[in-house]
Structure 1
Amino acid sequence: MTNKVVSLFNGRTRVAQVGPVYRRNGGERMASGFILMSLIWLLLLILVPILLAQVLNLSRNVKDLKRRLEQLEGLSLGPVHLPSPGEPPPKPPPQPVQATAPIPAPSQPEPVKTVAALAKPKADLEAIIGGSLLNRVGVVAFVFGVAFFLKYAFDNRWIGETGRVILGLFAGLVFLGLGERYQRKDYPRFSQGLTGGGIALLYLSIYAAFGFYHLIPQVPAFGFMICVTAASVVLAVRYRALPIAILATLGGFLTPFLLSTGVDNQRVLFSYIFLLNLGVLGLAYFKNWQLLNYQSFILTAITFIAWMVRFYVPEKLWTTVFFLTLFFLVFAFLAILYNIIHSRSATAPELILAFLNAGLYFGAMYLLLEDKYHDYLGLFSLAMAGIYIGLSYFTHARHEKGRFLIWMFLGLAATFVTLAIPIQLKQNWVTIGWAVEGAILSYIAFRYRSWNVFLAAFAILALVFFRLIFFDVQLSRQFVQEEYVLLVNKRGLSFIVGIAAMLLAGYWSAKASLKSSTEARAAAGCLLIIANVLAIILLSVEAYDFLEYLRYQNRIPHAVSRHAQQLSLSIIWALYAAFLIVAGIWKGYKPIRYMALLLFSLTILKVFFLDLSGLERFYRIISFIALGIILIAVSFLYQKYKHVLIGPTATGGESE
């Protein structure tokens, strides 16, 4: 057991140097220790007498103030029990007359009560400044004063190394004793300041004995610090003092850093951190000190990152993964502990902690596994999604008020599914995977009437649109190396699946009747318009690139392909605009018809300004004739279905 504790950081054997030679040659090395040990002399020679005198004065003043306060309270409460001057002795029959007499009675103590109520906030502020703030500032001032005094004393070799450590330990115990004494006398803030100073002195004295003066080996130093941490926790619970608990937690996490010898012992270090976390989180739960949860999480992350930067090697991969997962599970369980057991909604800090826990764990695991196990990272991301789906189900089954926590878990699950797709898949399959995910989320939102899930689906489909426009549109242009088939290629498949996903999402959004009908229709309309924009882009790019492919294959001349490309764009835009007009008339949907009119406008501008000057005569003729026929046909449709599009009143007026 001793060997295991010794190997906590694989401490090296250190030999203390003593005697005149050490004092002559070690002066510069000791200079850094003077500041840390500066508290010792002040406590014994300066601080304790002054502190006792000040405390006695404060005690007398407080007793006088209490006596005066009791007298004031007696005056304010006394008149309430006095009978009113006009009230007769116990005369029961004339009870109605008494209704006018008691009214002045409570008016007498009212001014005193109001003054006391107004004076209370001032007293609280004064107590905070005088009893707490001055206490902390005073301790810091004493630290600096002792630093200067001890530096002078050590430079003159008044006290040896062992004496310094002993004085520091004794001073720490004196501080703890004073803290206990004044805690019993009901001076909590003053007592907490003394207790915190004593704990700090004990930590620093043990560290100096090990790190600076080499008076004790690593095993006793580690044991002493553990004892100080445990005693600090006991005092925090006994005094009901969160600041002492925070100091104890900080000391517990600093112990490995203070006693480090520069050599790694991963298993013992992380086992110690795990057990320390269990103790701190248990204390936070039973005392309802949730600030300790956040402190423990931050310090655990700092410890892990510091170890990774300095000691990690690939040979320690799976041990690191094991402990990292252990830490993750502890804080993941912490996210639901308070909400399920106490049946309350999650607070914003708790949600942030759960989110950071998931993000840091996934990021660390990605860095650890990316080198050798990149092909499995997508599965790992899906496993993370499964964990949070399970947590959301567990929370939903046991806690009706955990709505925010459930939605956060589901949001994390959707995020990890979204991340798994680009991690595991390549090129257009990323877009296809996101499109399928967006469609599935849209159906889930439709099935369970959830607007939040619809918002998640819209976010995923926004990623789909981004990838289609900026990435997938460039696919399938290797005209020489591979056979090009119109629409049946990587780009065509990505666009078709993305368009289908958006149409389905728009349909389910309109059918779900979520939020207000205006918002649901607006969302459905946006998705429908985006889907048609993508369809126009797909048809245009496919036609253009297909003719480009024929030119690369020397199947058509270069001049012909250039004119044919421009002509195909004009015809495709006009035909698609006509298709939108027909669909808009059939469904009675104005946004589609407005989009068609806008597309017609663009087509007309292109034909009259680009095709007229850029195309040869033959292609120009075809472009104008085709556009004219399509526009005339659309105009006829508007005239025929005018009563549907414009209304019976306008139709009747025009027919006359």
Structure 2
Amino acid sequence: MAENHEKLDILLKKLEVLLEKQEAFSKEVNQLQSEIQQLKGTTTSTAEKEKPQPNIPKTEPKLRPFREQAKSKKAALDWDFPPKPQKSKTDFEKFIGENLANKIGIIIVIIGVAIGAKYTIENHLIGPLTRIIIGYTVGIGLMGFAIKLKEKYENFSAVLLSGAMAIMYFITFAAFSFYGLIGLPVTFILMVIFTAFTVLAALHYDKQVISHIGLVGAYAVPFLLSDGSGNVGFLFSYIAIINAGILVIAIKKYWKALYYSAFGLTWVIYLVWFIFEYDRLDHFGLAMIFLAIFFILFYLAFLAYKFLQKEKFSSADIVMLLSNAFIFYALGYALLADHSEKESFLGVFTLANAIIHFLVSLPIYRRKLADRNLFYLVIGLVLIFITLAFPVQLDGNWVTLLWTGEAALLYWIGRTKQVAFYEKLAYPLMLIAFFSLIQDWSIVYGKYSFEIEANHFTPLINIHFLSSLLFLAGFGWIYWLQSKTDFSPSWKPSKGTVNIISFGIPAILLFSTFYTFLVEINAYWQQLYVRSEVVIGNIGLTTEGSVRNEDILHFKAVWAICYSLFFLSGLAFLNSKKLRSQPLGWVNLVLIAFTLLIFLASGLYALSELRVTYLDPPHPEYFVYGFGNILMRYISFVFVGIAIVAAYLYQRQPFINQPFVMEFDFGLHLTLVWALSSELIHWMDMAGWSKQYKLGLSIFWGIYALTLIGIGIWKNKKYLRIAAIALFGLTLLKLFFYDISHLDTIAKTVVFISLGILLLIISFLYNKFKHIISDETNH
């Protein structure tokens, strides 16, 4: 008893010490809370004051310095950062009344005049000459009224003047195109005069609205008045004159909206005409002439202001310049390709594009503009069109190699000589080479390319595979340069650009490596399938048919999956041992999981079809169905096992930096239960018990669920136990809604008793190890 008293005293002393520490800790906490509240300038609520407080020494002397400091800081903040004045609200009424209403109004007036003119034309209300005179009268009157109002109401006057010019345009167009009241020379003179006047007015007023409504609005005139029988040559001449006016404005003003509107409308009109009305016999010369005119006018319009003012090009300017160049080339290519006699000039046309851009680059270089990128951009166009000239005029895989070599050379110069321009040029060439390789694959290895005997070739020993290897060599060199060198000091790309470049090049290299061998594997089996064709005659009929060995297609599908698993597993081992890249690791894991899912969903089906043809050959008189149909199943399981080991290896790598134990276990057990279920069906089918596999499958799922629960208890993994319960629930649903209707009485008895026993065992395990499960849950 004395011994117990001593122990009790010791424990009470320890308790006393702990209580003192707790009290001291509580005081410190209350002091900190009080100081924080004081610094925030808040006061304790009345309710809190009424609460009983522990006996704490007064903290006022300690808090006074903090309060003074907080007050001084607050005063400083108030002094340094005065409250921002509220922005005055936009006067929308004023904006609509003074600015927007007049523009909408003049557009409505123009449309109204056009509709009225169209109505009088269709209903023959007044003669053609009278219509034209009235139209000119309205236009001139509106112009005079606009000029008179200029001094006091400049904005309103500018809108009226632009509307007047639009009316003058379409009246002149109607006088020539519909009525023939004036000839072509007079029409052109009037159009030039109206364009010149509109340009001068826009510059004099310094109002972009005049050019918009007066020039751009004039594009709509032919379509508002057209009866479907217009003169295409005159239409394009009319548009060319308007664009010439825009070019003149471009020399003095940099009005982006004007350029964009004119650019878009011109090319849309041309493209619509080319698609629906173009006739290569009647329109080829006219189409090429005006295509060149529009291209040159817009090229000069985009360059004029920047060139004369020596200003830098924005990204939008570059987009417009490139769009103009490639629209011209694409339409010109289509025109020549559609004309059988002119098709041979495609290479010359492509080379001519390069010469045009080179001629433009000369004055840019000599003037030494402030923006040297403009020179590099135009020179880039020269290189692009020179490069395009080869595949346009010639065919062959060597074109892909040419682009690959050019990209590798430019990248080497850019990285090793620290010239950013060459490196920038290399990136689009890399993409061109990559897409060219994909096109080569689609042509050479396409599904129907092996239907012709002449197209057959030996896998891995052919020019196409060699071309792919040389492409890989070029990109491998580029990737090595990327890993060993840095960007040019003169080029500071954004973080997003750096990421795209850093991941894009190895991604292209990996994909190309993977696909290079995959297409060869597919080509091998595809050729065997085509060559297996046997022509057979129908008894009693005069017609003949043919059969092919369909097993070859199943072998093709399974081998493609096995190769994919092998490639991805090899990549996983390489990354785990050498590269140690986290992004590559996660991408690799996702691809392994996806390929395993394809194997489970598609590969196992192909293997089951091979088993069916082995047991019951459809055409034994023509084809041999050997043991390879069965052996292929276990060969594929080897590749599946390697892939699972590769994923497990990632799980143990510290550079992955994020555990995925639960995901790995889920994938592992899903693969196991799916593959073992297939194996059970396989051997029951081989044994001739195909009708009983439903019973065996339900029992197997129950046993696997029981095993999974045991593993979950042993490894303290709750998610495995939940997955096991879900699997057992699925098994019960299968039992009640599917198995019962297909089983006899004995089978039903067996399966019910088996699953019942399994459920009892599961319940026993949960009761036996409930303390482990409870501790795990609480933890």
TM-score range, shorter chain: 0.5 to 0.7
Equivalent position of 2:343 in the other structure: 374
- SS of 2:311's partner is coil
| Distance in 2 (alpha carbons) for counterparts of 1:528 and 1:583 | 15
> Does residue 282 of the first structure (1) align with residue 248 of the second (2)?
yes
Equivalent position of 1:499 in the other structure: 472
Equivalent position of 1:343 in the other structure: 310
Shift of 1:368: 1.6
Matches within 5 A, 1:310-459: 313-314=280-281, 317-318=284-285, 320-370=287-337, 371-372=339-340, 373-385=342-354, 387-388=356-357, 395=364, 402=371, 405=374, 409=378, 416=385, 423-426=392-395, 428=397, 431-432=400-401, 435-436=404-405, 438-440=407-409, 442-447=411-416, 448=419, 452-453=424-425, 455-459=427-431
> Kindly tell me: are residues 424 and 511 of structure 1, through their superposed partners in 2, closer, same or farther at Cα, counting changes over 3 Å?
farther
* Aligned-pair identity (%): 24
Matches within 5 A, 1:206-605: 223-224=189-190, 226-250=192-216, 266=233, 274=240, 276-301=242-267, 304=270, 313-314=280-281, 317-318=284-285, 320-370=287-337, 371-372=339-340, 373-385=342-354, 387-388=356-357, 395=364, 402=371, 405=374, 409=378, 416=385, 423-426=392-395, 428=397, 431-432=400-401, 435-436=404-405, 438-440=407-409, 442-447=411-416, 448=419, 452-453=424-425, 455-460=427-432, 462-464=434-436, 466-467=438-439, 470-474=442-446, 477=450, 481=454, 484-514=457-487, 522-523=503-504, 525-534=506-515, 536-537=517-518, 540-541=521-522, 588-590=578-580
Matches within 5 A, 1:81-160: 122=91, 128-136=95-103
Shift of 1:230: 3.8
| Distance in 2 (alpha carbons) for counterparts of 1:512 and 1:192 | 58
| Distance in 2 (alpha carbons) for counterparts of 1:559 and 1:246 | 66
> Kindly tell me: are residues 320 and 534 of structure 1, through their superposed partners in 2, closer, same or farther at Cα, counting changes over 3 Å?
closer
> Kindly tell me: are residues 477 and 303 of structure 1, through their superposed partners in 2, closer, same or farther at Cα, counting changes over 3 Å?
closer
* AA in 1 matched with 2:579: Y
Q: What is the TM-score normalised by the length of structure 1?
A: 0.56
> Kindly tell me: are residues 574 and 180 of structure 1, through their superposed partners in 2, closer, same or farther at Cα, counting changes over 3 Å?
closer
- SS of 1:294's partner is helix
| Distance in 2 (alpha carbons) for counterparts of 1:307 and 1:563 | 50
Shift of 1:188: 0.6
> Kindly tell me: are residues 336 and 473 of structure 1, through their superposed partners in 2, closer, same or farther at Cα, counting changes over 3 Å?
same
Shift of 1:493: 2.7
Could you tell which deviates more after superposition, 337-346 or 568-577?
568-577
Shift of 1:497: 2.6
* AA in 2 matched with 1:472: V
1:340-372 CA distance string (max 9 Å, x none):
332323235433432331232122212221122
- SS of 1:488's partner is coil
| Distance in 2 (alpha carbons) for counterparts of 1:272 and 1:311 | 18
| Distance in 2 (alpha carbons) for counterparts of 1:562 and 1:262 | 58
Could you tell which deviates more after superposition, 395-404 or 458-467?
395-404
Alpha carbons 1:432, 1:494 under 8 Å: kept: yes
> Kindly tell me: are residues 313 and 485 of structure 1, through their superposed partners in 2, closer, same or farther at Cα, counting changes over 3 Å?
closer
1:422-444 CA distance string (max 9 Å, x none):
64455655654554455445445
Of the candidates 181, 185, 188, which is equivalent to residue 148 of structure 2?
181
Higher relative contact order (CA 8 A, sep 6+): 1
Equivalent position of 1:33 in the other structure: none
| Distance in 1 (alpha carbons) for counterparts of 2:627 and 2:118 | 96
* AA in 2 matched with 1:488: I
* AA in 2 matched with 1:239: Y
Shift of 1:297: 3.2
| Distance in 2 (alpha carbons) for counterparts of 1:552 and 1:171 | 80
1:82-139 CA distance string (max 9 Å, x none):
xxxxxxxxxxxxxxxxxxxxxxxxxxxxxxxx99x969x64xx665444444545666
Alpha carbons 2:250, 2:301 under 8 Å: kept: no
Equivalent position of 2:545 in the other structure: none
Alpha carbons 2:522, 2:556 under 8 Å: kept: no
| Distance in 1 (alpha carbons) for counterparts of 2:135 and 2:283 | 40
1:463-512 CA distance string (max 9 Å, x none):
25644664433498579557744533243233323322332232222223
Equivalent position of 1:195 in the other structure: 161
> Kindly tell me: are residues 417 and 218 of structure 1, through their superposed partners in 2, closer, same or farther at Cα, counting changes over 3 Å?
closer
> Kindly tell me: are residues 317 and 130 of structure 1, through their superposed partners in 2, closer, same or farther at Cα, counting changes over 3 Å?
closer
Could you tell which deviates more after superposition, 361-370 or 226-235?
226-235
1:379-434 CA distance string (max 9 Å, x none):
53354356556756865775666476567657756765676566445565565455
Alpha carbons 1:543, 1:568 under 8 Å: kept: no
Computed over aligned residues only, the root mean square deviation of the Cα atoms, in angstroms, reads 6.3
Alpha carbons 2:169, 2:194 under 8 Å: kept: yes
| Distance in 1 (alpha carbons) for counterparts of 2:551 and 2:344 | 47
> Kindly tell me: are residues 418 and 177 of structure 1, through their superposed partners in 2, closer, same or farther at Cα, counting changes over 3 Å?
same
* AA in 2 matched with 1:334: A
| Distance in 1 (alpha carbons) for counterparts of 2:300 and 2:180 | 42
| Distance in 2 (alpha carbons) for counterparts of 1:559 and 1:251 | 65
Equivalent position of 2:4 in the other structure: none
| Distance in 2 (alpha carbons) for counterparts of 1:145 and 1:574 | 70
| Distance in 2 (alpha carbons) for counterparts of 1:132 and 1:410 | 44
Q: What is the TM-score normalised by the length of structure 2?
A: 0.49
* AA in 2 matched with 1:354: L
| Distance in 1 (alpha carbons) for counterparts of 2:138 and 2:465 | 79
- SS of 1:505's partner is helix
* AA in 2 matched with 1:589: L
Alpha carbons 2:292, 2:328 under 8 Å: kept: yes
- SS of 2:144's partner is helix
> Kindly tell me: are residues 487 and 130 of structure 1, through their superposed partners in 2, closer, same or farther at Cα, counting changes over 3 Å?
closer
* AA in 1 matched with 2:350: S
| Distance in 2 (alpha carbons) for counterparts of 1:616 and 1:254 | 75
Equivalent position of 1:37 in the other structure: none
Alpha carbons 1:539, 1:572 under 8 Å: kept: no
> Kindly tell me: are residues 357 and 525 of structure 1, through their superposed partners in 2, closer, same or farther at Cα, counting changes over 3 Å?
closer
Shift of 1:533: 1.8
1:436-455 CA distance string (max 9 Å, x none):
45544544553435664454
| Distance in 2 (alpha carbons) for counterparts of 1:470 and 1:380 | 27
Could you tell which deviates more after superposition, 500-509 or 243-252?
243-252
> Kindly tell me: are residues 540 and 590 of structure 1, through their superposed partners in 2, closer, same or farther at Cα, counting changes over 3 Å?
farther
> Kindly tell me: are residues 187 and 375 of structure 1, through their superposed partners in 2, closer, same or farther at Cα, counting changes over 3 Å?
same
> Kindly tell me: are residues 357 and 472 of structure 1, through their superposed partners in 2, closer, same or farther at Cα, counting changes over 3 Å?
same
The size of the alignment, in residue pairs, is: 508
